[in-house]
Amino acid sequence: MASHNNTLHDNFDVDYVITYRFADTTKAEASRNFQDLVQALARVGLAIEVRNGENCSLLIFVKVTSDDRLNNAVYRSRVKDWLYGIRPAQPDRETQNSLTNQPLTEAERYRIVHHLITGPKEEGNAGIIPIHGQWKNVESIFPLHDHTFNKEWIKKWATVTFLKVEDLDEIRNRFGEKVAYYFAFTQSYFAFLIFPAAFGFSSWVLLGHFSSIYAIVNCLWSVVFIEYWKRQEVDLGVRWGVKGVSAIQEKRREFQHEKEIKDPITGETLQVFPATKRLYRQLLQLPFAVLASLALGVIIATCFGIEIFLSEVYSGPFKSILVFLPTLMLTALVPTITTILTEIATRLNDYENWETTDAYDSAMTQKIFILNFITSYLPVFLTAFVYVPFGSLIVPYLDIFQLTARPFAGNEKQLATPKSGFTINPARLRKQVIYFAVTAQIVNFAMETIVPYLKRQGFHKYQELKTERAAKKGGAAPNAAANDLPEEAQFLARVRSEAELDVYDVSTDLREMVVQFGYLTLFSVVWPVTAVSFLINNWVELRSDAVKICVEMQRPTPHRADSIGPWLDSLGFLTWIGSISTAALVYLFSNDGLGPDGTPADIKGWALLLTIFFSEHIYLVVCLAVRLALSKMDSPGMQKAHAERFMVRKRYFEESFGEDAMELPPPMDREKITRSSLEEEARQGSVRSSTPQDHFWLRQRSWEESAKIGAGLIEKMAPAETKKHQ
């Protein structure tokens, strides 16, 4: 474990920091809950140190008390992996040999310790879930950033174009497989974009818009990429030792079973919720999808109609300003309605009573994808399949939107909609696609990087002004850093800063990539240079996400995964829809990109349906062919899996098994803490060379002392207005 100590030297060997917030709790209750918290941590073998935090909070530093305790937990975790078929061979019963053969990564250590803190009590863990039940004062649990590694990582990425598999290994070893899979996917997507970018630019120059050749090649590329990524997931899963890890499901604490049955194979008692009953509850997704489509669709369609009226019908004053009214309406209404629908989706997901966290997250992702699909793609669908084909029929009925411009119009002629002779704007669709391919990507980048920075700086400034105002009135809380020891001051200042950062959610970044992929498969035939924009954006995105994790967010807890989860299904769905929409767009706009000139009579319904039918079936055949071709090709991951299975079989033939093959190493005896033992430990500590880490962890010698000091800090730091329970 010495390497780990060297790695975390700047972090004083801290494994996790727990933020305990008591602003809205009475002092007596806060002290009582805090004592329960440190006692629960001590029971599972964690050392504790308490320091002041910002804004009525305490920082609780925890680490595993001994290497033997950690090794025991690591052994149990690896045996569990073996039982579920994730590991091909049983771990060596000598834990030290096991760690020597397969060294403990930083991510695995943090994952094990996090499970000790948050895992169920019945499994020997502390069972501490932030903002849940009796732990409502626990605001967050996070590991500390390794700033030395972060600086080297960002500097290295700024000088390379493509990430090597060793770079992905490094991400996995630091941040866990879930984050590593995101970077692996984005890297693969970025590399694959080189072909459609080059071919799309050539098509734009030589073939023009709505090229059937480009449409066919783009659909084929989408299928190949999806099937390639499926293989890549397997290879990475084997390389990282997590293939099949989704079989280890973490049961949700909110799960409510209706009956208990005995597993006929293992004999274990299982808590069961009837699948048919859950299916009935899942049927509520249908009205939810209808509700979401209506709520968001009506808003987007209304703003779409207003924008058409103001930009192509209205001819009065302030037109250049009024055309931004629909955008302002969308900016104000869509996020609000989306938030409401997300809350409904969350409650519906809770009602479905999923047993495991993975199943719950997968169902929630599907619901969120519906909302993203509507908000992201509906405006372009309206332009492509409503405005252009049927503009001449719709525009005369836009009189209802005269109210938006009437106060500014000089006369009625400026508001009158043409009853005949209206000509559509064929460039409108291309401008929309260009906006989503270029402008929207720049806006998203600013929202991800610049806005959080400004938000954080503004929050700090607000806190400073608030403190100054309170100080003038004599009611300011004491400065959190007032009593910091000089050797700890810089470290504690950094920890307090990290405690205020947001929590990183890799699903947000995955969702962004999936939405972008959707624009490429659905609408790039309108503007073939779309892939060029995405190629440039994703090079920047890979680096900006690394900076975001290192600077803008708390260090993520390293969770395991063997894929990008339900987002893979979303990619497949978008590819299928893309085969249909691309064929329809090529048919509708094959007239040199001008469309049917706003005359629906030029559209043959049977021809459109036949085009879609053949396109979809060709897509299905291509999918099958590509999948079959890739299955015949071997890969490093599959070769490694075959080699591991062979070695396991060889070992089983060479060895014989006893009845105690699955017996765990003997647990450590709990050391009884006495005055004499503490004095002896202090004497031994004085003999050893002292380091900043030693001093940090010797301030408080037991959980009782930490509880006492924490109660004193709560009494001292709590402002007068928090004395009453709110």
pLDDT tens track for 192-247: 999 999 999 998 888 877 888 999 999 999 999 999 999 899 889 888 888 888 77
Query: Is the pLDDT confidence value at 424 over 80?
Result: no
Question: Is the model's pLDDT at 319 over the cut of 80?
Answer: no
Q: Can you give the pLDDT at residue 100?
A: 67
pLDDT of 666: 42
- What pLDDT is recorded for position 399? 64
Q: 691 vs 655, which has greater pLDDT?
A: 691
Is the pLDDT at 402 greater than 90, yes or no?
Answer: no
Mean pLDDT of the chain: 78
Per the model's pLDDT, the better-predicted residue between 227 and 412 turns out to be 227
pLDDT for res 421: 53
Q: What is the pLDDT of residue 1?
A: 41
Residue 296 has pLDDT above 80, yes or no: yes
Contact 213, 203 (CB under 8 A): yes
- pLDDT for 673 equals 47
**Mean local confidence (pLDDT), 382-396:** 74
pLDDT at 185: 95
Is residue 649 very low, low, confident or very high in pLDDT (cuts 50, 70, 90)? Answer: very low
- pLDDT for 597-608, tens place per residue? 445 456 677 777
Residue 178: what pLDDT? 93
The 8-class DSSP code of residue 665 comes to P
91 sits in the region (left: phi over 0; alpha: psi -120 to 50; else beta) called beta
More confident residue, 654 or 26: 26
Q: Is 151 left (phi over 0), alpha (psi -120 to 50) or beta?
A: alpha
Helix (H, G, I), strand (E, B) or coil at 20: strand
Better pLDDT: 121 or 554? 554
Per-residue pLDDT of 41-90, as tens digits, reads 988 888 899 998 888 889 999 999 888 888 888 888 888 878 777 777 77
CA distance 586 to 216: 10
pLDDT at 713: 81
Q: Which residue has the higher pLDDT, 603 or 166?
A: 166
- Please report which confidence band the pLDDT of residue 361 belongs to, taking 50, 70 and 90 as the band edges: confident
**pLDDT bracket for residue 726 (50, 70, 90):** very low
Interatomic CA distance for residues 235 and 232, integer angstroms = 5
Half-sphere CA count of 242, side-chain side, radius 13 A: 21
Interval 2-49: pLDDT, tens: 444 443 447 888 999 999 998 888 888 888 899 999 888 988 888 899
The CB density around residue 380, as the number of other CB atoms within 10 Å, is 19
Q: What is the pLDDT of residues 684-717, one digit of tens each?
A: 555 455 677 777 777 777 777 788 888 888 877 7
Domain ranges of the chain: 2-144, 172-478+504-642, 674-725
C-alpha separations of 547 from 10, 155, 683 in Å? 20, 10, 45
Give me the sheet containing 16-21, strands edge to edge.
46-53, 57-64, 16-21, 138-142
pLDDT of residue 723: 41
- Residue given tokens 């004085």 in the structure block: 686
Q: Could you give the CA distance from residue 261 to residue 271 in angstroms, rounded to a whole number?
A: 7
pLDDT tens for residues 113-126? Answer: 999 999 888 778 88
Give the pLDDT of residue 513.
92
pLDDT band at 662 (very low <50, low <70, confident <90, very high): very low
- Residue 436: per-residue pLDDT: 82
Q: Which residues contact 655 (CB under 8 A, 6 or more apart)?
A: none
CB 717 within 8 A of CB 478: yes
The predicted model gives 119-136 an average pLDDT of: 86
Confidence class of residue 299 from pLDDT cuts 50, 70 and 90?
confident
**How confident is the model over 264-286, as pLDDT tens digits?**
666 667 777 888 888 888 888 88
**Phi, psi dihedral angles at 442 (to 5 degrees):** -65, -40
Query: Which residue, 137, 29, 123, 11, is CA-closest to 76?
Result: 123
- Would the pLDDT of 661 be above 50? no
Q: Note the pLDDT tens digit of each residue in 472-505.
A: 665 555 677 777 788 888 889 899 989 988 899 8
Question: Would you state the structure tokens that stand for residue 363, as one six-digit string?
Answer: 């169902």
Contact by Cβ (8 Å): 518, 377:
yes
DSSP codes, 149-218: HHHHHHHHHTT-SS--HHHHHHHHHHH-HHHHHHHHHHHHHHHHTHHHHHHHHHHHHHT-SS-HHHHHHH
Query: Between vectors from CA 8 to CA 7 and to CA 12, what angle results, nearest 5°?
Result: 150
Per-residue pLDDT at 626 exceeds 90: no
Please report, rounded to a whole number, the percentage of residues in the chain having pLDDT higher than 90.
18
Mean pLDDT of 304-310: 78
> Could you tell me if 237 and 563 are in contact, meaning their C-beta atoms sit under 8 angstroms apart?
yes
**Residues 666-683, mean pLDDT to the nearest whole number:** 48
Query: What is the mean predicted confidence (pLDDT) over 505-513?
Result: 91
Which pLDDT belongs to residue 311? Answer: 73
**Can you give the pLDDT at residue 71?**
83
Looking only at Cα atoms, what is the longest distance across the chain? 99
Look at residue 192 in the predicted model and tell me its pLDDT. 94
In the predicted structure, residue 159 carries a pLDDT above the cut 50: yes
